[in-house]
Amino acid sequence: MKKTIVNLLFGLITAAVATSAEKPNIVLVITDDQGYGDLACHGNPHVKTPNIDKLSSESVNLEDFHVFPTCSPTRAALMTGHWANRTGVWHTINGRSLIRKNEVTLATMLHNAGYETGIFGKWHLGDAYPFRPEDKGFSHTFSHGAGGVGQTPDAWNNDYFTGHYRNNGELTKVDGFCTDVFFDQGRQWIKQCVEEKKPFFAYIASNAPHLPLLAPQKYLDLYKDQPGDLAAFYGMITNIDDNIGETRKFLKELGVENNTIFIYMTDNGSAHGSEAYNAGMQGKKDSEYDGGHRVPFMIYYPDAEMTSKREVETLTHVVDIAPTLLELCDVEKDPSVEFDGVSIVPLLEGDTKDWKDRFVISDSQRVVDPIKWKKSSVMVQDWRLINGKELYYLPDDPAQKNDLASKHPEKVELLRSYYDSWWDDLEPGYAVTAEFIIGNEKSEVVTLNGHDWISQKLPPWNQSHIRGLKKFISEDFDGYWAVEVETPGKYNLAFFRWDPQANAAITASLPAQPDRPGVDKPYCAYPGQALDIKEVVLEVDGKEIGRQAVTDKDVSVSIDTDLAQGKQKISAYFILADGKQVGVPYCTFTLQK
């Protein structure tokens, strides 16, 4: 009898494992600042991308696929299936790149369905609780901070060739070019998932070819005939291409190629290559024209017979990817979620007979509070309404040069009407600020930084700004962090001029770190300026609640204060000897027990 029960239990466990293992795996590669035209298979005569070209020849290619014109909004929409503005993410800095805590991500839904979920590289939707990738459904995290290696929330002195990365919450030093590191870490993790017979979602998000333009010398040497910036930009892309080739080969060697959905896409239009080649489009990163948001999308999935080149000309959008992947993986969406996008599985399978034209929108706000019609493109298949005024018919005018608004006022009115409805739906949410949560056991010490100051001014979003903080000195600092205190009590707030990892005095200067191959300097390769700081001031909701003197020996200074439960605006700034002010670049919050 005991043997029978044991056998029965074993059978049930085996069946469960088999069912789990039969679910398709996902590898989603997304690159940063690479446009549609930055590929040889799209006609670029300069760049070398043989592996992506091969992938294109074996994949379903979405030829009219659109994202948002900058990185964080695209990533928010990709992860949620929602318009980026609905998620609270319409900028890349100033506290407007933080994905709202109520958003349920693709990673969460897959993880709840039994998937292992791993991120490797760029997240850029928040670096403190509750916005981190581990708070948003990823069971394994290996990432840099903010929007790129060496930006303000990233590990101190990181550059593209050596750095400390957040490995499941702990900083781990890894040498090697960042793109190689992220793909290698992804492959190691995939191998572990395969060995454990667990379905996986590997989100490999390179920060390349985002500036600073740096690449291993052998990739720069491939483009000696190109201007320096293009040589580095294209070198970074060819390095990505090599990693894509290695990863596809690795999946085949592991025996999981057929059951793996492999996707390659990018996050916005080209940042550097559009003047050399832009596939006939107008615009680049941050543009409302197609060059700013039409990007490559390739999907290869042998088990679904997606193994030969087929071009889908139907208009699609990044908000469609989450619902599409859930359908391909036979995973139910969270019941609380209503997608803005739709599943495009019929298009991927070649079934377009019942597909109806629809409206989609991409816009680039890059302000603290969204502005109606700002840098917007309302799209319906062949038509584009730009900024609510200009109308273009793309089959005759792919470069969007011939404004037809005066000739087709009825089309303008139709597209404006859709935008008005879209705006009215989203506008109430613009007043909802995403707050960092203080006093939660999931993050006992919360570190905030200048990247996320809410301010009408540009914040110090990368470490060259921290090193050159003089340019951020003003008569009256206006920035603050939006926080929600979950546990009321006495908190220690520690204020730093330099990242706590630097262990440097507030008033001290710091040496520049070494240059690296490429045309730009790493953010850490600038000298750190000494500042004659005399005091730090802490304000809560506009009211001063404490100040502390700063000496030349202080690495940090602290103020203990009671914080009530609820939402608050925390502002902290240094006062210099001349009376001017500069925001505190780094602050830690610790609940006193």
Q: Which residue ranges in the chain fall short of pLDDT 70?
A: 1-21
Q: Which residues of 372-386 are buried (b: 16+ CB within 10 A; e: fewer)?
A: ebebbbbbbeebbbb
Distance between CA 457 and CA 379 in Å, rounded?
A: 32
Distance between CA 484 and CA 440 in Å, rounded?
A: 10
Which residue has tokens 């793909």? 183
Rg (CA), the chain: 25
Distance between CA 7 and CA 557 in Å, rounded?
A: 64
Query: pTM for the whole thing?
Result: 0.95
Q: What was the pLDDT predicted at 6?
A: 34
Distance between CA 277 and CA 281 in Å, rounded?
A: 9
53-55-59-63 Cα dihedral, nearest 10 degrees: -40
Q: What was the pLDDT predicted at 352?
A: 85
Distance between CA 286 and CA 283 in Å, rounded?
A: 8
Q: What was the pLDDT predicted at 556?
A: 98
Name the nearest CA neighbour of 125 among 420, 452, 413: 452
Q: What was the pLDDT predicted at 593?
A: 83
Q: What was the pLDDT predicted at 354?
A: 87
Provide φ and ψ at 209, rounded to 5°.
-95, 40
Strand residues in 10-69 grouped as ranges (E): 25-31, 60-62, 65-66
Q: What was the pLDDT predicted at 22?
A: 85
My answer on whether omega of the bond before 500 falls inside 30° of 0, hence cis, is no
Neighbours of 561 (CB within 10 A): 14
Structure tokens at 487: 């546990």
Residues 6+ apart with CB under 8 A from 116: 139, 140, 189, 193, 198, 199, 200, 201
Distance between CA 450 and CA 466 in Å, rounded?
A: 9
Name the nearest CA neighbour of 466 among 516, 493, 502: 502
Residues 6+ apart with CB under 8 A from 13: none
Alpha-helical regions (H) of 364-510: 409-426, 463-467
DSSP letter for 443, please. B
Question: Position 322: which residue type?
Answer: A
